[in-house]
């Protein structure tokens, strides 16, 4: 299955990491002001995560952990969150 992510969407808000899975694509950006260089970035609670779910060949849904667009998540835990539309 191809995951469609509009290129303009990615350029307007550059990601630090993108991971495609069979269910959809995770896009992560971390808060550099809260980053502790002594620890791996992926394990710190400094990430804003979006999940792009492809519902069919031309339609996608953009979802967020717990429906929140905050830098308050751990990248390594991305598959454990419940994704919803942002409130």
Task: Give the mean model confidence (pLDDT) for residues 63-82.
Answer: 97
Give the pLDDT score at 11: 56
2 domain residue, yes or no: no
CA distance 50 to 18: 10
Residue-number span of the structural domain to which 39 is assigned: 7-84
Q: pLDDT, tens digit, for every residue of 27-58?
A: 999 999 999 999 999 999 999 999 999 877 77
19 domain residue, yes or no: yes
CA distance 86 to 68: 5
State the total domains in the chain. Answer: 1
**Prediction pTM value:** 0.81
42 domain residue, yes or no: yes
Q: Is the pLDDT of residue 12 over 90?
A: no
Give the pLDDT score at 14: 85
30 domain residue, yes or no: yes
1 domain residue, yes or no: no
Using a pLDDT cut of 70, give the percent of the chain over it.
Answer: 85
80 domain residue, yes or no: yes
């Amino acid at each position: 299955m191809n995951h469609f992510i509009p290129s303009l969407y990615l350029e307007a808000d550059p990601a630090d990491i993108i991971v495609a899975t069979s269910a959809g694509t995770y896009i992560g950006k971390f808060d550099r002001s809260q980053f502790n260089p002594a620890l791996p970035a992926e394990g710190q609670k400094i990430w804003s995560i979006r999940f792009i779910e492809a519902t069919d060949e031309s339609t996608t849904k953009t979802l967020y952990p717990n429906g929140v667009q905050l830098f308050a998540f751990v990248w390594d835990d991305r598959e454990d969150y419940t994704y919803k539309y942002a409130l």
